[in-house]
Amino acid sequence: DTEVTQTPKHLVMGMTNKKSLKCEQHMGHRAMYWYKQKAKKPPELMFVYSYEKLSINESVPSRFSPECPNSSLLNLHLHALQPEDSALYLCASSQARDTKYTGELFFGEGSRLTVL
Amino acid sequence: AQSVTQLDSQVPVFEEAPVELRCNYSSSVSVYLFWYVQYPNQGLQLLLKYLSGSTLVKGINGFEAEFNKSQTSFHLRKPSVHISDTAEYFCAVRWGDQGAQKLVFGQGTRLTINP
């Protein structure tokens, strides 16, 4: 069983909808990540939060808005998405940079998003 | 720019045969190396990692990998595969202090096990 939980597992939305993806971890990790994965491609980094602060934004369009309410939760707010945004969205967590950092990421099972 | 190359996009193998999935990266300066497996419709699961020490690393499900600094490679091996090993395999690299939290993935290798 994964220790990173993502909800919902599947989401279908129209281009004018507003929805959110949620991620939760209870491993005491202080870094959390959003990745986007298209079919037959590797995961692409979108955002990194370290100690609840946004540390990396990989030039992601503003229709994706991340939020880290506390050290265990990570949200991805979606608004006015395009059909090409359909993908598997993966959340991951890791130890933060200034602890016993190994770079190992723990992934959730993903939220499969379809934009109509 | 640092890069990770998985030389084979697809590898078909017969059940109980050995397999090697190849991974090369662009620079050997202070690297941390990982292999992840992704089963259909699932997230990524860590198979094994090299941080330091012995260059031969053993992971889960009978997989192992060898860090070769001079060849900047981290190839994944299994002596005898099973049908259940059918999955996508990703090599990933983190370079020293560069973008500390950035893990760069290779393009993936699709391992298909035939009976």
Instruction: Decide if B1 touches A, using CB distance below 8 A.
Output: no
Structure tokens at A88: 């598997």
Residue B53 pLDDT level (bands cut at 50, 70, 90): confident
Cβ under 8 Å to B: A residues 54-113: 55-56, 90, 92, 94, 97, 101-110, 112
- Tens digits of per-residue pLDDT, A15-74? 888 999 999 999 989 899 999 999 989 999 999 998 999 988 999 999 999 999 999 999
Helix (H, G, I), strand (E, B) or coil at A116: coil
Instruction: Decide if B109 touches A, using CB distance below 8 A.
Output: no
Asked if residues B34 and A103 have their Cβ atoms less than 8 Å apart, the reply is yes
Chain A residues closer than 8 Å to B10 by CB: none
Please list, residue by residue across A56-75, b when 16 or more beta carbons sit within 10 angstroms of its beta carbon and e when fewer do.
Answer: beeebeeebebebeebbebb
- Tens digits of per-residue pLDDT, A61-102? 999 999 999 999 999 999 999 999 999 999 999 887 655 566
Number of Cβ atoms within 10 Å of the Cβ of A116: 10
CA diameter of chain A: 43
Do β-strands A53-57 and B73-78 pair in parallel, antiparallel, or remain unpaired?
A: unpaired
CA dihedral for B12, B78, B5, A108, sign (positive or negative): positive
CA dihedral for B8, B10, B60, B19, sign (positive or negative): negative
